[in-house]
Amino acid sequence: MANGNGKRLITKQRERASELPDHFIQCRLTGHWWVLAEAEANKEGGVDMNYVCHRCSTTRNDTISPRYGELLRRGYDYAEGYRVKQSTPGERTFSAAALRADTWRRSAS
């Protein structure tokens, strides 16, 4: 159970979470729902595989080795509004507890 400081921190995180759309909350809580959008060979001999999140439209761009499937590079292009500026250096912007609490609040409304 959280102590007084922990409860205040979760309350702040819940307030921040309340400003996010439902689909961003779900992606942050349960992970993105990746769908392969495109795969093609690149000039370096690897394979570029591009995924799109079905919920929030974030894209993930992977480059893999075609022989062994080893991940060589990964990058993300986040949907507009998905990334949130860190409010206090060293403080987590959201916690799973805050996201779960906000999901419960939304479902109970």
pLDDT at res. 100: 80
pLDDT at res. 51: 98
pLDDT digit string, tens, across residues 49-98: 999 999 999 999 999 998 889 999 999 999 998 887 766 766 777 777 77
pLDDT digit string, tens, across residues 33-62: 999 999 999 998 899 999 999 999 999 999
pLDDT at res. 1: 47
Beta-bridge partner residues of 27: none
Amino acid at 35: V
| Phi, psi for residue 36 in degrees, rounded to 5 | -65, 125
Least confident of 5-9, 46-50, 103-107: 5-9
Tokens matching residue 81: 């509004």
pLDDT at res. 4: 65
- Give pTM, 2 decimals: 0.75
pLDDT at res. 90: 67
Helix ranges restricted to H, the chain: 4-17, 22-30, 96-108
